[in-house]
Amino acid sequence: MVDSLKTVVTKFYGDYKSNTPRKLKIIDAYLFYILLTGVIQFVYCALVGTFPFNSFLSGFISCVGSFVLAVCLRLQVNPLNKNQFWGLSPERGFADFVFGHIVLHLVVMNFIG
């Protein structure tokens, strides 16, 4: 069981390393960073408490919103999805990502008070 799992993970990592474009790897690293930040915030809230609840909620919402925007960017930039986004260039996808982040963080800053 462990050997087959190790084989699957090794093959997955090898395919990911050789077949995934560099742009997508950078976006995946950003996704991992956002996921890790959200988990740390949640664990901190569970251990310490939620005294400034607006701060926790706005930080966690920022992580979730950033994750969703980054996944959308990854879908638009992926060359395998060109037929899904035939009218959009990767630059347009990045501009949408930046605009979405500006709106998201304006809402988050407004929510903090």
Question: pLDDT, tens digit, for every residue of 59-82?
Answer: 899 999 999 999 999 999 998 888
Token look-up 């809402």 returns 107
Could you give the count of Cα atoms lying within 13 Å of 48 in the half-sphere of its Cβ? 11
Reported confidence tier of residue 50, pLDDT bands at 50, 70, 90: confident
Burial category of 62 from C-beta neighbours within 10 Å (exposed 0-12, middle 13-18, buried 19 and up): buried
pTM for the full predicted model: 0.86
Read off the tokens for 40: 């740390």
Above 80 in pLDDT, residue 9?
yes
Q: What 3-state DSSP class applies to 83?
A: coil
Alpha helices for 1-113 (secondary structure H): 2-19, 22-48, 53-77, 90-112
User: CB within 8 A of 100, min separation 6: which ones?
Assistant: 65, 69, 72
Average confidence score pLDDT of the chain: 91
Reference 27, options 89, 93, 106; nearest CA is 93
